[in-house]
């Protein structure tokens, strides 16, 4: 008996010491805004204040966008030569960072910063290698809530160890900070990061290109649809508190409104973090409406946290499905081609079985009510086939709810 009790206590102890990250930080995919996709390193005090103001006035905060994250470029080129601490660039941030963090917090938002596991960040600023515990204490002293941690200049460094070290450093510093691993999927973080951070990038950098790449000569930025294709097989690794991150949003950054709608819908279907990357201060009404579509967001933020998947493809019509709480489903029809497609989808012939989460969508057994997330209309159900014409690079996003007997 004594041995049994000892054994149970030992297992409990081991679970506790390996339970390294803060619990409960991102039970649904994190939502916010990040400076990189539009501003790169051209960031400043006034930009942060302006973005924080618009996060509130545009309805984005109400829709769930919480984190305002400054990406690469916030630091001076050198650490403080006495303390070794990171130094906010005094030209960009003449009053330092703490006042900005306070400003953002006072708006009911949270604040994030960026650094890198390597010796320097991707843009050449001081990296964290060798300063993990010191930097974590620095972030905690500033009141930071989110850290994006990149992977440039890491030759000879083991990714799992490097991210583990930073995760432990954050935990030791004592302030709950969402830890966003940005290692581009090179070392399959989905296989080892569930207990290290709250989200991990699965691919290289996104670009505002719909179905191709942006070629920079020595490297390529990946467009929206190739990134979606690369998520195949990863859904089993995501769930509440630990998310696959197919990179930040490019909504409002140059694609057509329909393409932006597709991009946003798929990020919702993939239970991806929704981190806007456009200049919120100048966004159009159409961009704003996409970003704050609460019905789409509720599919992304569904508390069961089950990532969706590509159910079938037929002649450039792709059908994505996502199981939701209460046996609801989200369904997206996407036209990937350059011509309009006529959809004739007989729900009774399409029995979707999700063996991973043990969910079935079977309209033959019972009909579902249908709600169109973008047109915000209802009044239909799955008793009759779904018919619509879908233009090129456009999407129809539906929520199917149980509640009608078949
Ligand atoms: C990498 C990341 C980007 C961005 C830049 C900053 O490319 O993947 O998201 O953070 O670095 O330099």
Write down the pLDDT at residue 1. 47
**Cα of 286 to ligand 1 centre, how many Å?**
27
Q: What is the pLDDT of residue 231?
A: 98
For residue 344, the surrounding DSSP H or E stretch is: strand 341-345
Q: Whose CA is nearest to atom 8 of ligand 1?
A: 205
Long-range Cβ contacts of 321-326 (<8 Å, 24+ apart)? 321/269, 321/352, 321/354, 321/361, 322/268, 322/269, 322/271, 323/354, 323/357, 323/359, 323/361, 324/299, 324/399, 326/401, 326/402
SS3 (DSSP) at 63: helix
Residue with tokens 């009790």: 5
Q: Which atom of ligand 1 is nearest to the CA of 248?
A: 9
Residues marked as catalytic: 150, 205
Q: Is 331 in the pocket of ligand 1 (CB under 6 A)?
A: no
Section 275-291 average pLDDT: 98
> Is residue 128 predicted with pLDDT exceeding 60?
yes
- Does 149 contact ligand 1 (Cβ within 6 A)? no
Residue 372 has pLDDT above 70, yes or no: yes
| Ligand 1 neighbour 153 (Cβ under 6 A) | no
| Ligand 1 centroid to residue 129 C-alpha, Å | 17
Residue 406 has pLDDT above 50, yes or no: no
Q: Is the pLDDT of residue 184 over 90?
A: yes
Regarding pTM above 0.85, the answer is yes
- The average confidence (pLDDT) of the chain is 95
pLDDT at 3: 52
Q: Locate the ligand 1 atom nearest the alpha carbon of residue 184 and give its number.
A: 8
183 lines ligand 1 (CB under 6 A): no
Residue of the CA atom closest to atom 11 of ligand 1 = 122
Rg of the chain taking only CA atoms, in angstroms = 22
Looking at the CA of residue 114, tell me the nearest atom of ligand 1: 10
**Which residue, among 161, 156, 233, 171, has the nearest Cα to 202 in the 3D structure?**
233
Q: What is the pLDDT of residue 17?
A: 44
Mean pLDDT score, 258-271: 99
Q: Does the Cβ of 36 fall within 6 Å of ligand 1?
A: yes
Residue 13 reports pLDDT greater than 90: no
Q: How would residue 376 be classed by pLDDT, with cut points 50, 70 and 90? A: very high
Block residue for tokens 């709600």: 371
342-375 CB burial, b ≥16 within 10 A, e <16: ebebebeebebebeeeebebebeeebbbbbbbbe
Does residue 387 carry a pLDDT above 60? yes
pLDDT > 70? residue 161 = yes
Q: Is 220 in the pocket of ligand 1 (CB under 6 A)?
A: no
Q: Which of 305, 309, 311 is nearest to 324 (CA)?
A: 305
Handedness of CA 266, 277, 377, 341 (dihedral sign): negative
Tell me, what's the pLDDT at 4?
A: 55
pLDDT for 225-260, tens place per residue?
A: 999 999 999 999 999 999 999 999 999 999 999 999
Ligand 1 centroid to residue 253 C-alpha, Å: 17
DSSP string, 269-286: HTT--EEE-S-GGG--HH
| Percentage with pLDDT > 70 across the chain | 95
């Amino acid at each position: 008996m004594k041995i049994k009790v000892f054994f149970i206590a030992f297992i409990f102890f081991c679970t506790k010491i390996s339970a390294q990250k803060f619990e409960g930080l991102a039970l649904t995919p994190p939502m916010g805004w990040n400076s990189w996709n539009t501003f790169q390193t051209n960031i400043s005090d006034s930009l942060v204040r302006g973005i924080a103001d618009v996060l509130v006035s545009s309805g984005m905060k109400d829709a769930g966008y919480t984190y305002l994250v400054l990406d690469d470029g916030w630091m001076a080129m050198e650490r403080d030569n006495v303390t070794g601490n990171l130094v906010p660039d005094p030209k960009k941030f003449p009053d330092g960072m703490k006042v900005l963090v306070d400003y953002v917090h006072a708006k009911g938002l949270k604040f994030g910063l960026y650094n890198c596991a390597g010796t320097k960040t991707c843009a050449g600023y001081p990296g964290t290698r060798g300063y993990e515990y010191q930097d974590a204490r620095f972030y905690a002293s500033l009141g930071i809530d989110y850290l994006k941690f990149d992977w440039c200049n890491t030759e000879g460094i083991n990714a799992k160890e490097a991210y583990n070290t930073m995760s432990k450093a954050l935990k030791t510093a004592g302030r709950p900070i969402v830890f966003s691993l940005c290692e581009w999927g090179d070392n399959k973080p989905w296989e080892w990061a569930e207990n290290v951070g709250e989200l991990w990038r699965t691919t290289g950098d996104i670009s505002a290109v719909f179905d191709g790449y942006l070629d920079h000569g020595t490297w390529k930025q990946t467009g929206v649809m190739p990134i979606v294709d690369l998520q195949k097989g990863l859904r089993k690794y995501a769930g509440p508190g630990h998310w696959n991150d197919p990179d930040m949003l490019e909504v409002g950054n140059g694609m057509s409104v329909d393409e932006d709608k597709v991009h946003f819908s798929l990020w919702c279907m993939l239970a991806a973090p929704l981190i806007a990357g456009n200049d919120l201060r100048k966004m159009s009404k159409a961009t704003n409406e996409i970003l704050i579509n609460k019905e789409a967001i509720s599919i992304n933020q569904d508390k069961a946290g089950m990532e969706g998947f590509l159910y079938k493809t037929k002649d450039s019509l792709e059908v994505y499905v996502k199981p939701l709480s209460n046996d609801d489903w989200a369904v997206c029809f996407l036209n990937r081609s350059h011509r309009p497609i006529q959809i004739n989808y007989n729900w009774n012939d399409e029995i979707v079985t999700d063996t991973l989460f043990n969910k079935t969508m079977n309209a033959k057994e019972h009909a579902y009510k249908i709600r169109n997330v973008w047109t915000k209309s209802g009044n239909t159900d799955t008793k009759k086939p779904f018919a619509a014409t879908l233009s090129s690079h456009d999407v129809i996003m539906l929520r199917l709810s149980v509640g009608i007997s078949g």
